[in-house]
């Protein structure tokens, strides 16, 4: 894979499309692109931390991990003057189905993440940090460790950075297969060496985080944006996007497009433009639906998404969430019942089991969608699914409960006829062989 | 119980965390132990706990919570195929079916010669490369067309 396209690239500028897996990521390459100059300048000039936070606030950088919370505001919550340890944590757990952008940032631009974290640590007064990396990407965990070694040797992390008296130790923590560890408090539990079960909030991590100390957690892409924002200025970054939606963002496009991959585009770019950059719908077929922000975001029918712009407010207005920027494209060969069945299975599998509505509810959702898909649906199943989702929403410790409920609600809302057809006729509206052919898997694989 | 090399790697992991927080290294040490032994037998988990000065249950809890630990013996090659929706739209199910047919086993099973174990996986953060397979938790393979799958299975000696 690679970065397949960009408009006004910031995070991927100078990577030349990043088609080659093994070059361009090293410290010397990053420095040649102007890397680490911001960190050096801040440390040399002893820039007041508040000034840094002010620039980040002005950029209206919103967290790229899913919730879109303003980063500058989050940083200002840290009790900087409180004595004792404080931590900075990067979330590269990237398990939200459809999302594969952080992986490419670690692959092609790991030093931007490291510089962003070092600047963040300076701004919030943290002296130690961890990057939690998704279990399945071992090769990139190793690359990040190699980048850390380079940064340490060059004196960009560690004790007394660039002779400034400021120290920041940074390490990588490798996950081992649990979607829930992407949730920030589950992630902290996991770093502590425990089961990844989310904590009750409040207290929030800014007051009680890693090892009970004040902690700030941001997504990989959020950190990678920091050096570039400080270099170009907050307003310049904001103006790349649109008001309240600053900057460019990476979108991971998967599913039924000609060229699935990562694209960096300004927030506010029309969806239709992004689709065009991906070469359009696979085989010139007709667009049916798009999940615009990772599997937890409500699905949108073709006509709605084709009128929408790719930014937090635009997608919210269209009735969904920008989430992690994972765009899952489905064309007319997709059976919506089958699609939902797979997602419901996922949430059931990955529920940490701590709250009853989520643990039991996700199981019920899967069983019912499964029986509809397999021709055993009952007439009142759609109403039943509605009831169950209503009993999950807002009644759980973390947002995984809502994340499991929202796909069910939105799939039924927009594709009710297809679900009703399944229940009545005990079969798919879209013939099985059409579905199989739609996936583009090689003709050699026999259709069964 | 563990080789010197593995013990050195354990120590390197423990050093990443503040003094007294060696429990944080339990995930990494279990993964390294599994790499050396092939799977996590109860006595292996206990030995990791002992190394980190933890009650055995603390290590066992972690080993059972995270999907990539193997608490039963697996084949020499553990193949995890992602079938989550984004991959499924680009042939995830088909790739899985193709491997199942070739090896004559279903998800969760191991071939009679003990060479392959097949696992159904969740999103690996590589959906743009679908169909995607992971070999022994370490090596990610993308664009797994039938030809690529044939090649991979042949390489697994
Ligand atoms: C179930 C669940 C899974 C999540 N997975 C991720 C993830 O993989 N990566 C991520 O950055 N944030 C994830 N989040 C969001 C984090 O909790 C957190 O909001 C985010 O890391 C904050 O960083 P940001 O403000 O820079 O976006 C997840 C949240 C939930 C509820
Ligand atoms: S909502 Fe689900 S995943 Fe989240 S804490 Fe409760 S049981 Fe665990
Ligand atoms: S859905 Fe298969 S890697 Fe993401």
| pLDDT tens digits along A82-120 | 999 999 999 999 999 999 999 999 999 999 999 999 999
pLDDT per residue as tens digits for the range A298-349: 999 999 999 999 999 999 999 999 999 999 999 999 999 999 999 999 999 9
Out of B42, B65, B88, pick the residue that ends a domain: B65
B91 and B151 assigned to the same domain: yes
B52 and B84 assigned to the same domain: no
DSSP-derived letter for residue A92 is: E
Residues 123-152 on B with a CB inside 8 Å of A are 123-131, 134, 137-140, 142, 145-147
pLDDT of residue A431: 87
Rounded to an integer, the average pLDDT of A130-152 is 97
Rounded to an integer, the average pLDDT of A211-221 is 98
Query: From CA A250, how far away is CA A102, in angstroms rounded?
Result: 9
Which ligand 3 atom is the nearest neighbour of the CA of B121?
2
Picking from A195-199, A321-325, A428-432, B42-46, which range would have the lowest pLDDT averaged per residue? A428-432
Residue B130 lies in a domain: yes
B58 and B93 assigned to the same domain: no
Is residue A12 within 8 Å of residue A4, measured between CB atoms?
no
B52 and B95 assigned to the same domain: no
Rounded to an integer, the average pLDDT of A397-401 is 97
A22 against A399, higher pLDDT:
A399
Place of tokens 């494209």: A329
Residue B109 lies in a domain: yes
From A52's Cα to the closest Cα of chain B, the distance in A is 28
Q: Assess whether pLDDT exceeds 60 at residue A1.
A: no
B23 and B60 assigned to the same domain: yes
B136 and B99 assigned to the same domain: yes
pLDDT of residue A435: 85
A225 CB-side CA count, 13 A: 33
pLDDT per residue as tens digits for the range A12-23: 998 865 556 778
Tell me which residue in B62, B97, B131 faces A194 most closely, judged by beta carbons.
B62
Other Cβ atoms closer than 10 A to B2: 18
Q: Considering chain A, what percentage of its residues have pLDDT values greater than 70? A: 97
Residues forming beta bridges with residue B153, ordered by sequence position: none
B81 and B149 assigned to the same domain: yes
A358 lines ligand 2 (CB under 6 A): yes
From A58's Cα to the closest Cα of chain B, the distance in A is 31
pLDDT per residue as tens digits for the range B88-126: 999 999 999 999 999 999 999 999 999 999 999 999 999
Query: From CA A284, how far away is CA A286, in angstroms rounded?
Result: 7
Is residue A118 within 8 Å of residue A168, measured between CB atoms?
yes
Q: How does residue A445 score in pLDDT terms, banded at 50, 70 and 90? A: very low
Residue B127 belongs to a domain with what CATH number?
3.40.30.10
Residue B71 lies in a domain: no
B51 and B91 assigned to the same domain: no
Q: In what order do the strands lie in the sheet with A215-219?
A: A169-174, A128-133, A87-92, A215-219
B151 and B89 assigned to the same domain: yes
For residue A383, report the distance from its CA to the centre of ligand 3, in Å: 30
The answer, yes or no, to whether ipTM is higher than 0.85 is yes
Out of B65, B95, B118, pick the residue that ends a domain: B65
B25: burial class by Cβ within 10 Å (0-12, 13-18, 19+)?
buried
B84 and B43 assigned to the same domain: no
pLDDT of residue A292: 98
Q: How does residue A446 score in pLDDT terms, banded at 50, 70 and 90? A: very low
pLDDT per residue as tens digits for the range A32-85: 999 999 999 999 999 999 999 999 999 999 999 999 999 999 999 999 989 999
pLDDT of residue A258: 95
Residue B34 belongs to a domain with what CATH number?
1.10.10.1590
Residue B72 lies in a domain: no
> CA torsion sign, A305 to A12 to A123 to B23?
positive
Task: Please report residues of A whose CB lies closer than 8 A to that of B128.
Answer: 1, 100, 252-254, 260-262
The beta strand positions in A220-271, using DSSP E, are: 248-255, 261-266, 269-270
Mean pLDDT estimate for chain A: 95
pLDDT of residue A17: 56
A182 lines ligand 1 (CB under 6 A): yes
From A60's Cα to the closest Cα of chain B, the distance in A is 27
Residue B104 lies in a domain: yes
pLDDT of residue A442: 54
B87 and B31 assigned to the same domain: no
Number of structural domains (chain B) is 2
**Which two structure tokens, joined as six digits, stand for A388?**
């169950």
Rounded to an integer, the average pLDDT of A393-411 is 97
Q: Which domain holds residue B18?
A: 4-65
Is residue B124 within 8 Å of residue A140, measured between CB atoms?
no
A361 lines ligand 2 (CB under 6 A): no
Q: How does residue B31 score in pLDDT terms, banded at 50, 70 and 90? A: very high
pLDDT of residue A19: 59
Out of B18, B36, B65, pick the residue that ends a domain: B65
pLDDT of residue A18: 57
A398 lines ligand 2 (CB under 6 A): yes
B111 and B152 assigned to the same domain: yes
Residue B70 lies in a domain: no
Residue B102 lies in a domain: yes
């Amino acid at each position: 894979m690679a970065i397949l396209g960009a408009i006004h690239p910031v995070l991927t500028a100078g990577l030349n499309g990043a088609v080659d897996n093994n070059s361009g990521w090293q410290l010397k390459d990053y420095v040649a692109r102007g890397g680490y100059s911001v960190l050096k300048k801040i440390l040399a000039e002893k820039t007041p931390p508040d000034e840094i936070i002010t620039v980040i606030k002005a950029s209206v950088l919103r967290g790229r991990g899913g919730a879109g919370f303003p980063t500058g505001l989050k940083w200002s919550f840290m009790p900087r003057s409180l004595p004792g340890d404080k931590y900075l944590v990067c979330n590269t757990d990237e398990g939200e189905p459809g999302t594969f952008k952080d992986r490419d940032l670690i692959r092609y631009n790991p030093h931007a993440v490291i510089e962003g974290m070092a600047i963040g640590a300076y701004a919030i007064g943290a002296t130690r940090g961890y990057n939690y990396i998704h279990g399945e990407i071992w090769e990139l965990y190793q690359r990040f460790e190699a980048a850390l070694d380079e940064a340490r040797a060059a004196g960009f992390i560690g004790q007394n950075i660039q002779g400034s008296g400021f120290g920041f130790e940074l390490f990588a923590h490798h996950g081992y297969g649990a979607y829930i560890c992407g949730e920030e408090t589950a992630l902290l539990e996991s770093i502590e060496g425990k089961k990844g079960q989310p904590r009750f909030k409040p207290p929030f991590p800014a007051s009680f985080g890693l090892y009970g100390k004040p902690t700030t957690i941001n997504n990989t892409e959020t950190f990678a944006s920091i050096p570039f924002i400080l270099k170009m200025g907050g307003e310049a970054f904001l103006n790349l996007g649109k008001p309240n939606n600053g900057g460019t963002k990476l979108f991971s496009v998967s599913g039924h497009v000609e060229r699935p991959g990562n694209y960096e585009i300004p927030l506010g770019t029309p969806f239709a433009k992004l689709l065009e950059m991906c070469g359009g719908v696979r085989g010139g077929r007709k667009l049916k639906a798009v999940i615009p922000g990772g599997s937890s975001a409500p699905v949108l029918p073709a006509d709605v998404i084709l009128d929408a712009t790719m930014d937090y407010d635009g997608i919210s207005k269209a009735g969904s969430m920008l989430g992690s920027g994972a765009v899952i494209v489905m064309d007319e060969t997709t059976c919506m019942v089958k699609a939902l069945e797979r997602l419901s299975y996922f949430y059931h599998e990955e529920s940490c089991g701590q709250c009853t509505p989520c643990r039991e509810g996700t199981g019920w959702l899967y069983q019912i969608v499964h029986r509809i898909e397999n021709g055993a649906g009952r007439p009142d199943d759609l109403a039943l699914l509605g009831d169950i989702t209503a009993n999950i929403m807002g009644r759980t410790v973390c947002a995984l409960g809502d994340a499991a409920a929202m796909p069910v609600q939105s799939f039924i809302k927009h594709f009710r006829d297809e679900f009703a057809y399944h229940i009545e006729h005990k079969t798919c509206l879209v013939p099985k062989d059409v579905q199989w052919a739609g996936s583009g898997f090689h003709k050699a694989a026999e259709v069964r | 119980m563990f080789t010197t090399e593995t013990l050195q790697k354990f120590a390197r992991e423990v050093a990443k965390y503040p003094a007294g927080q060696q429990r944080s290294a339990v995930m990494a040490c279990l993964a390294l132990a599994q790499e050396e032994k092939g799977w996590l037998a109860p006595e292996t988990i206990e030995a990791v706990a002992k190394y980190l000065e933890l009650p055995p249950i603390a290590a066992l809890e972690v080993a059972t919570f995270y999907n990539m630990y193997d608490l039963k013996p697996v084949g020499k090659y553990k193949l995890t195929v992602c079938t989550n929706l984004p991959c499924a739209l680009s042939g995830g199910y088909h790739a899985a079916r193709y491997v199942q047919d070739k090896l004559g086993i279903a998800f969760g099973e191991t071939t009679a010669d003990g060479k392959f174990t097949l696992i159904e996986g969740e999103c690996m953060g590589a959906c743009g490369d679908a169909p995607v397979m992971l070999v022994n938790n370490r090596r990610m393979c993308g664009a797994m067309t039938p030809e690529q799958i044939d090649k991979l299975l042949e390489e697994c000696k």
